[in-house]
Structure 1
Amino acid sequence: MTVLNNRVVRKKRLILLLILVLVRSWGVGVNARENNRWETRVYPGVIVVKFKPEVVQLWDGTRLLKAPLFTGVPTLDQRFARHRVEQIERMFHVQATLPRKQSTSDLPDISRIYRLSFSTDQNPYQVARDFAQDPHVEYAEPMPINYIEATPNDPQYPEQEHLVQIFAPEAWDIAHGDSNVVIAIVDNGTGWQHPDLKSNVWTNQAEATGLPNVDDDGNGYVDDVHGYDLAEKDADPTNAPEDDAGYYVHGTHVAGLAAAVTDNALGIAGVSWNCKYMPIKASYDNSPQDISKGYEGIVYAADNGADVINCSWGHLGDYSNYEQEVINYAYAKGSIIVAAAGN
């Protein structure tokens, strides 16, 4: 009986040892995968942090804080120093006085979401984990890199049978789209002055009839008559000049498919016929495939009355709290978000 018990004990110890080895190996594997992937999936030197209200109140609504950073909150100040945080920037301009289509009760507070910049020799996942442990932080996470989804470059692409496949002609027999419906195109720029796009572009009437170099409608953006460039921070949402890879015209293609002028004996037929589109440029001119301001674009679109927000881009990797909060924010304001399938 004693021999049998000893065998059982040894067997249990062996199983426990194997479990510990597997757990350790899995943990090492996860860390290795994390170290290998972060440079292509998330921005270096950046994390997103949502602070609790008591911290943001100390900053009195300041949008940008630069080093040396001091909040008077010891745990945060220690982390700022430890990770050599260079600046803290509020990510979203939220205009509370703008008219909303629905009750504000479901609106998440995205005004407390900040972008932290630090030296790029640090792993963003590790920095985020450290900040997430702070009692004054709701969540902290790396910032995913969103890329535009591929568009075929064959010359007949705009003439494909997609309208027939989605039964657009049958839908047009019922309705031609309402000019009061606004489709936001959050992308890498839109050539809105194209002959087949110009007549359907959204117009911010307060800015169109207001004074130059003045934020006439108080939405936080100056002279945004036909949308805005959130990356370059100007009122020209036009895409940069064409390149060999075709990235620059991605937003123009998307706008055309959604809202090109229809029944005008020119170019292609947009599926929405009479709806207006709001061009929002969310990439830098020197990096058109990288939609770095995509979620700022979603907030701009929702705040300015977009009914539909088109996002033909996305990223691989982990779930993002701040991205989900932005989507919830837009939905609570009455917007529907359409995202790329990633196929």
Structure 2
Amino acid sequence: MSKKLEIIFILLVLCVSVDAKNFQNFEFVPNEFIIKLSPDTKIITPNSSFTGIIEIDDILSKMAIDDISPVVPYKKNLDPSLPDINRIYRIRYSVNISPDKAAEKFHNLDYVIYSEPRYIQYETTVPNDPYYSNQWHLPVIDASQAWNTTTGDTSVIIAIVDDAVDLDHEDLADNIFTNWVEYHGTDGVDDDFNGYVDDIHGWDFAENNNDPNPVIDNQDHGTHVSGCASAVTNNGIGVAAPGWKCKILPLKFSNDNSGSLSGDAAAAIIYAADMGAALTNNSYGGGGFSNYFLDAFHYAYELGTLSITSAGNSDENELFYPAGYNSVFSVASTASGDYKSGFSTYHLSVDISSPGSGILSAYPNNDYASASGTSMASPVAAGVAGLIKSQFPDLTANELAVRLSATADNIYDINSEYYLLLGSGRVNANNAVTYTNNQFNTIPVRMALANFSASDLLHGNGDSSFDPGETIDMDISLNNYSIMGSENVNVYLTSADSRI
């Protein structure tokens, strides 16, 4: 699902103004960073203190290294077309240096593909009245009509990558995924040989154990998100959810001391793909671009797992991560009446919109509450995607994303100021499971200027001054955010200068 398109033009003068903003204040997981080494390096075993590469180890020797370990268990016979996740390592150290500065020391070294800090994520929720009890969003997305076609399938797994999930909640328990090989296996043994011992109901990627349940009070986000996607439906209790019968795979990555989202979400995404999840829901964000996250999402995408992400709660036109990666599906939020939620981020990278204001769902300890945010919009869309996968089980990740996008309801008549910035429209569950390919809506092309340069060296007089009648070479790169890719696109260049 490439969203990158480069076009080179030779034309007359063009004046372009680009305004870039950075709204993020980054926080890093302390005393560790990620490094990826080239394919010609030997695999480093877990709990090592050196890499065996002289120029790398020379720098590491000054950092009081505590541990060098692969980020995920070794994958034997890894398909060479996939990202080489076997050579991504987590390095923990003791010296007093920030992770971004530590990682910089390895930039541009031989054998180093990238080195970077790990960003602490944050949830994309705006709390609201906890007693709000109307699931207004399900009629809006035509859920009941969709359930006449399919009520989901227990073979469809939606991985919830979040702070924690209450496995025993009365309205979630029957939909929690069970790894039956480990369930019927031997305690303390990795019965399914996936590198995770006794992972019966998911994994905790912060505490590195097999219990993704909440431990402290503020670990309530993932339980609510799980209920938005696939609470048990038609059971006479609690709430309903689009996914109905689809299974929830809980993947926790918040630590149990403060609830900070400092665990390894990227490793959780890789795990979800390896476990056969059709979808991951990622209702969090923070930090900037990460090659490690990009590798994880691309790995999952190539294995057939579509990663759905919340677009952010900034009420700004900005690129937000992880929603901005080119192999994920970004979801903005709508309120009653299909208006953009007042908090929702909007951007050309948004693929679709979904209800996210005042969404009633499960809370820990058999409770229920209403919450707002793109954190809620994303799992509602993920639940609909679960219905699609149940009805069309052979769809690839890209085909699933296209069907979700191409069956949405157009909401730009009442959101005209956000044209193309809320994706293809608001998700419609019934359309998604009933439309034939011939009924698909046209998905608008969403492109933005990435880079621009102009020169008169090749076909002009070479004086770097653009003179009347002079031919100028221009290099223009466009980011193509359209989910289906784009062919036969006409690009028109204009200038505010009347002399051109």
* Distance apart, 1:258 and its partner CA: 0.9
Q: 2:304 aligns to what? A: 334
Segment of structure 1 superposing worse, 222-231 or 329-338? 222-231
Larger helix fraction of residues: 1
SS of aligned partner of 2:228: helix
Once the two structures are TM-superposed, the CA of residue 312 in structure 1 deviates from its matched residue by 0.9
Q: Which residue of 1 aligns with 2:211?
A: 236
Aligned-partner Cα distance in 1 for 2:106–2:258 = 29
The CA deviation at 1:334 is 0.8
2:289 to 316, 319, 329: 319
Contact preservation (8 Å) 2:205, 2:263? no
Q: Which residue does 2:256 correspond to in 1?
A: 285
1:195 aligns with 2:170: yes
Tell me the residue number matched to 1:87. 67
In structure 2, C-alpha distance between the alignment counterparts of 1:311 and 1:295, rounded to whole Å: 10
Could you give the per-residue CA deviations for residues 291-315 of structure 1, whole angstroms, max 9, x where no partner exists? Answer: 4221111111111111111111111
Aligned to 1:297: 268
Aligned counterparts of 2:186 and 2:202: Cα–Cα separation in 1: 16
Task: Say if 1:257 and 1:270, in contact at 8 Å, map to a contact too.
Answer: yes
Asked if residue 309 in structure 1 is aligned to residue 295 in structure 2, the reply is no
Q: By how many angstroms is 1:97 displaced? A: 7.4
Q: Which residue of 1 aligns with 2:226?
A: 255
User: Counting strand residues as a fraction of each chain, which structure ranks higher?
Assistant: 2
Distance change in 2, residues 1:265/1:255 (3 Å): same
CA distance in 1, matches of 2:199, 2:151: 27
Structure 2: distance between partners of 1:106 and 1:159: 47
Q: Tell me by how many angstroms 1:273 deviates.
A: 0.7
Q: CA shift at 1:249, angstroms?
A: 1.1
Q: 2:188 aligns with which of 203, 213, 224?
A: 213
2:239 partner SS: coil
Report the alpha carbon displacement of residue 105 of structure 1 after superposing the two structures with TM: 5.0
Give the equivalent residue in structure 2 for 1:270: 241
Map of 1:1-343 to 2, 5 A cutoff?
40-57=26-43, 59=44, 62-66=45-49, 69=50, 71=52, 73-96=53-76, 104-119=79-94, 121-157=96-132, 159-242=134-217, 247-316=218-287, 318-343=288-313
Gap change, CA 1:291 and 1:337, over 3 Å in 2: farther
Q: Cα 1:211–1:45, aligned 2, differ >3 Å: closer, same or farther?
A: closer
Q: Which runs of 5+ in 1 are unaligned?
A: 1-32, 99-103
Q: 1:148, 1:289 within 8 Å by CA — same for their partners in 2?
A: no
Which amino acid in the other structure matches residue 198 of structure 2? D
In structure 2, the CA distance between the partners of 1:341 and 1:156, relative to structure 1 (3 Å rule), is farther
Q: 1:151 Cα deviation (Å)?
A: 4.6
What is the CA deviation profile of residues 314-334 of structure 1, one whole-angstrom value per residue up to 9, with x for unaligned ones?
113x31111100000111111
- What secondary structure is seen at the aligned counterpart in 2 of 1:232? coil
Letter in 2 for 1:328: H
For 1:74 and 1:258, locate their aligned partners in 2 and report how far apart those are by CA, in whole Å.
49
Q: Note the aligned Cα RMSD (angstroms).
A: 2.3
1:126 and 1:229, CA in 2 relative to 1: closer, same or farther beyond 3 A? closer
Instruction: Name the structure 1 match of 2:433.
Output: none
TM-score, length of structure 1 as denominator length = 0.78
Q: Distance in 2 between matches of 1:275 and 1:96?
A: 30
In structure 1, what is the Cα distance between the partners aligned to 2:150 and 2:298? Answer: 29
State the SS of the aligned residue for 1:56. coil
- Cα pair 1:44 1:120 within 8 Å, conserved: no
- Residue 8 of structure 1 corresponds to none
Within 1, Cα distance between the matches of 2:273 and 2:160? Answer: 12
Percentage of matched positions with identical amino acids? 38
CA contact (8 A) 2:205 2:267 kept: yes
SS of the aligned residue for 1:64 comes to coil
Aligned length: 291
Q: Deviations over 1:115-158 (max 9, x none)?
A: 12233522333322220121121111121111222252422356
Does the 8 Å contact 2:157/2:248 carry over to 1?
Answer: yes
| In structure 2, distance between residues paired with 1:158 and 1:44 | 41
